[in-house]
Amino acid sequence: MSKDKAYAQKAKEALAKVEPFKGTNIRLAAGPLINSALTYDWVHDTLSPEEDRQTLQRLAALADSVYRKYPTQGNAHDRIIGASALGVMALALAGYDPNTPSKPVDWLRDATVSLFIKDRFQFPSAYRHDRRYERFCPALRGVCNRGGFCRIGGYRAYWVATLSQWFLVYAKATGRNPLDDFPIARGVVNDPIWESMPNRMDSQQGTRVSNYWGYYHNLLALLTPPERGAFRWYATDPKVDPLRRRRTTASLDGVPWGLCCYEKDLPTAEPFWTSFYSPECEAMVFRGGWELDSDWLFFKCMNQPIASHRDMLHHDNLSFELYSRGDYLLSDGGEIRNRMVGYGPEYACGHNTLLIDGTGPVKEDITKEYFHFVNPARFTDHCLENWLEFCEAEMEVCAVEIDPVKVVVGPSGARGSTEATKRDANAKRLAAPVNWRRAILYPGRHYFLVLDRARSKARHHYEFLFHLSSLNIVETKSK
pLDDT of 208 over the 90 cut: no
| % of the chain beyond a pLDDT of 70 | 94
- CA nearest 312: which of 426, 232, 182? 426
Whether the per-residue pLDDT at 269 is higher than 60: the answer is yes
pTM: 0.94
Band (413; pLDDT cuts 50, 70, 90): low
* pLDDT value of residue 161: 94
**Predicted confidence (pLDDT) per residue in 104-144, tens digit:** 999 999 999 999 999 999 999 999 888 899 999 999 999 99
What pLDDT, in 10s, does the model give residues 416-452? Answer: 676 777 778 899 999 999 999 999 999 999 999 999 9
The Cα–Cα gap between 250 and 282 comes to 24
Would you place residue 22 in the very low, low, confident or very high pLDDT band (cuts 50, 70, 90)?
A: very high
Distances (CA, A) of 163 to 27, 34, 59, 219: 12, 11, 20, 11
Arithmetic mean of pLDDT, 186-210: 90
Average pLDDT over residues 203-227: 88
Quickly count: other Cβ atoms within 10 Å of residue 4's Cβ: 9
Is pLDDT at 186 greater than 90 in this prediction?
yes
Listed ranges 40-54, 108-122, 346-360; the one with the highest mean pLDDT: 108-122
Q: How far apart are CA 382 and CA 388, in angstroms?
A: 10
473 falls in which pLDDT band (50, 70, 90)? confident
Q: Please state the rounded mean pLDDT for residues 240-251.
A: 91
pLDDT on residue 153: 80
* Residue 125: predicted pLDDT: 92
The whole-number pLDDT of residue 355 equals 96
Q: Is the pLDDT of residue 338 over 60?
A: no
Structural element, H or E, at residue 393: strand 388-401
Q: What is the pLDDT of residue 174?
A: 96
Average pLDDT, the chain: 92
416 touches 343 (CB < 8 A) = yes
The pLDDT confidence band at residue 337, using thresholds 50, 70 and 90, is low
Answer whether residue 402 shows pLDDT above 90: yes
pLDDT at res. 410 = 81
Is the pLDDT assigned to residue 399 strictly greater than 60?
yes
The arithmetic mean of pLDDT across residues 300-314, rounded, is: 93
**Inter-residue long-range contacts of 97-100, CB under 8 Å, 24+ positions, other chains counted:** 98/56, 98/57, 98/60, 98/61, 98/64, 99/57, 99/60, 100/60, 100/61, 100/63, 100/64
